Amino acid sequence: MKITVDINSGFCWGVIRTIDIAEQELQESGTLYSLGEIIHNPVEIQRLKREGLQPISYADLELFRGRKILIRAHGEPPETYEKARALGITLIDATCPVVTKVQERIRKFYDNGFQVVIFGKKDHAEVIGLVGQTKGEAVVIKSLDEISKVDYSRKTVLFSQTTMDKPTFYAIRDNLARQIKEFEVATFENEAIEFHAKDTICGQVSGREKKLREFAAQNDVIIFVAGRTSSNGKVLFEIAREVNERTFFIEDIDELQRKWFEGKESIGITGSTSTPQWLMEKVKIAIEALVPNDIIA
């Protein structure tokens, strides 16, 4: 049996940047508060908690006057910054630059009188930050079934949460384009951003699709490691499962089952853009312990 960790998996550069910022602050002060869980991976969150990172909620801000608080990769709405200033809180802004760019573009369209439509999940942290750029007026839809929420008589622009799937985005885009006279799809204009797309879905999520499909096809079994609340994890898992029906989703090693590997020759381990490389290596070691040594290549 050959066990391989996908070299194209692991943290995206936005998550790497956020965790680097958090760890640098932790080295200096030993304790840091983050507004919400820093990423959607419970195992990595527990590791950072042991280092001194403590998640808090927006409702807790009053209790942390004059402290330092980290803004996670998902970003925050403008009112969070306003409240922090009023409370004398120092914000360490680790918002992913891609998310920041989307926020800026949404504000420009909103200020120019556009109805802003966001393809995403309304309760997701990133979407809450995006909707905040429109004073709460943006229309959030997660599927074609919800497209009736859109006012077809208004000039409209379509954005996306950065971790959603492209096929649904394009289906929504095409439907709106047929029904709205003045309709635009948001695009990135700043070439400093490391990807270029006709939408605001992060290139490091959508760009993994081809390589993930290849990896899933090359292995008898795929172990997909991610937090269950990770949006991009759900998207990438479904892509892998489309190619290989023996794709199993786990958060940590205690969910592994020996029967998944019986009679199989190749095992592939992959994950979302919020899955740390060390966790996937841990999964590999755990699988090696589950199967007889003499069948591991």
User: Which pLDDT does position 207 carry in this prediction?
Assistant: 66
Domain ranges across the chain: 2-10+206-295, 13-95, 98-161+166-200
146 is catalytic: no
Active-site annotation holder among 25, 76, 126, 251: 126
- The whole-number average pLDDT for the span 108-121 is 94
Instruction: Quick: pLDDT tens for 185-196.
Output: 876 544 333 333
Domain 13-95 architecture: 3-Layer(aba) Sandwich (3.40)
Averaged confidence pLDDT in the chain: 89
CA 34, CA 57: separation in Å to the nearest integer?
8
Question: Above pLDDT 90, what percent of the chain?
Answer: 70
- Nearest to residue 140, comparing CAs of 114, 155, 153, 159? 159
Angle, vertex CA 195, rays to CA 275 and CA 161, nearest 5: 60
pLDDT surpassing 60 at residue 54 = yes
Name every residue whose Cβ is closer than 8 Å to that of residue 116 and which is 6 or more positions away in sequence: 106, 109, 110, 133, 134, 137, 138, 139, 156, 157, 159
User: Which pLDDT score is estimated for 291?
Assistant: 82
What is d(CA 94, CA 229) in angstroms, rounded to the nearest whole number? 20
Judged by phi (left if over 0) then psi (alpha if -120 to 50, else beta), residue 146 lies in: alpha
CATH 3.40.50.300 fits 2-10+206-295, yes or no: no
What pLDDT does residue 197 have? 33
Q: Answer whether 2-10+206-295 and 13-95 agree in fold.
A: no
Topology (CATH) of 98-161+166-200: Cobalt-precorrin-4 Transmethylase; domain 1 (3.40.1010)
Is 264 strand, coil or helix?
Answer: coil
Kindly report, residue by residue over 177-234, the tens digit of the pLDDT. 999 999 988 765 443 333 333 455 565 566 688 899 999 999 999 999 999 988 888 8
